[in-house]
Structure 1
Amino acid sequence: MKPDSDLYSFLRSKDFVEEEEPASNVDSGSTADSGASSSQEAVSLDFEDPDLVEKLYQYSEAELDEVDFGIVKVDNDGTVLFYNEYEARNAGVRPEDAEGKDFFTQVAPCSNNRIFRGRFKEGMMKGTLDETFTYTFTYKMSPTLVDVRMLRDERSNNWLLIRFRYAK
């Protein structure tokens, strides 16, 4: 379903957003055996699953590269610890260029603001992070509408999950 927001309509009218269908979700019938998946089968994780953050540990980094949304693991300061292939493909930043760098100032400087980084910092101050919001990335790409989910797990790992509205 296409968003009906004024921002989306404006971006579409200026050719900033492509007229294509969103990436389809992974078949809900597919499951992973003992946390592993075959190279032919995509890992089945749901961006909106309330228990998603704990499910991320069932998969290797190679398997998380197959997920149909961006997964960025950062430390408390925002340094990238893991950057999956889906995010790399859609953001135009290779994992090896992102890992070890500050997500907010070096990887995605367009997120270094109150709307994005501010929510992250508030979560770090509280010791909990569970935020979902819509955002427009503009760095290294034309304006791109995404859904962002920020989570902190019980092991104190921070996850930035990014679902592109129209993935490449």
Structure 2
Amino acid sequence: MRVSPDFDAPDLAEKVEALHAYEINQLPFGVIRLDAGGKVDLYSTREATLSGWNGRPNIGLDFFTRVAPCMNTPAFKGALDAAVAEGRVDAEFVHIGDFADPYRAIRIRALSSADGGVWLFLLRELS
């Protein structure tokens, strides 16, 4: 694998878009890509493992109603929708909880993808 892109890199989305799916699955943080309509078109195996989602289907599902309805809030989805409407997504959020641990803090970077969708990069403290 090429050098792993840093979670805080300003050009993280561009670096990840240059990777093969296998390489994305090996990143030390979770990766989800949503299409322009909010449906999941990439859900890394690392994210599935870290979040506790595991082998459940997710590709083609609406992220905010079928995968992560807990993120369907004005603070998260509302801010994301506003950024998409402005034409550029570059935001960071802290979300509490996932399938594996409802009390775990997750740092989420949301960045525009080249195809008009949105990348979600999810970083959890590993202990």
Both proteins in one fold, TM over 0.5: yes
Choose which of 32, 41, 48 in structure 2 pairs with 1:72. 32
The 5 Å alignment of 1:6-17 reads: none
After superposition, residues 124-143 of structure 1 pair within 5 angstroms as: 124-139=84-99, 141-143=101-103
Aligned residue pairs total: 127
Distance 1:58 1:100 in 2: 22
In structure 1, C-alpha distance between the alignment counterparts of 2:69 and 2:58, rounded to whole Å: 12
Q: Distance in 2 between matches of 1:49 and 1:112?
A: 26
- The structure that is strand-richer by fraction is 2
1:114 aligns with 2:53: no
Offset at 1:144?
1.6
| In 1, Cα distance between equivalents of 2:38 and 2:55 | 15
Higher relative contact order (CA 8 A, sep 6+): 2
TM-score normalised per structure 2: 0.89
Counterparts of residues 42-81 of structure 1 (less than 5 Å): 44-81=4-41
| Cα distance in 2 for residues equivalent to 1:139 and 1:95 | 12
Find the aligned partners of 1:108 and 1:140 in 2 and give their Cα distance.
Answer: 13
CA distance in 1, matches of 2:55, 2:22: 12
Structure 1 unaligned spans of 5+: 1-30, 33-42
Structure 2 distance, partners of 1:96, 1:81, is 14
* Superposition deviation, residue 115 in structure 1: 1.6
Q: Contact between 2:52 and 2:98, CA under 8 Å: does it hold in 1?
A: no
Q: Residues of 2 paired with 1:55 and 1:95: CA distance?
A: 26
Deviation of 1:165 after TM superposition, in Å, equals 2.2
Cα RMSD (Å) of the superposition?
Answer: 1.9
Cα distance in structure 2, aligned partners of 1:96 and 1:44: 26
After superposition, the Cα gap between the structure-2 partners of 1:92 and 1:139, relative to the gap in structure 1 and judged at 3 Å, is: closer
Between the aligned residues of both structures, percent identity stands at: 30
Q: Deviations over 1:29-51 (max 9, x none)?
A: xx72xxxxxxxxxx511110001
- Secondary structure of the residue aligned to 2:26 is coil
**Structure of greater Rg:** 1
Distance 1:83 1:145, change over 3 A: same
Residue 53 and residue 111 in structure 1: after superposition, are their counterparts in 2 closer, same or farther (change >3 A)?
A: same
**Structure 2 segments unaligned to the other structure (5+ residues):** none
Give 1:77 shift.
Answer: 2.1
1:153 shift after superposition: 3.2
Q: Distance in 1 between matches of 2:79 and 2:13?
A: 18
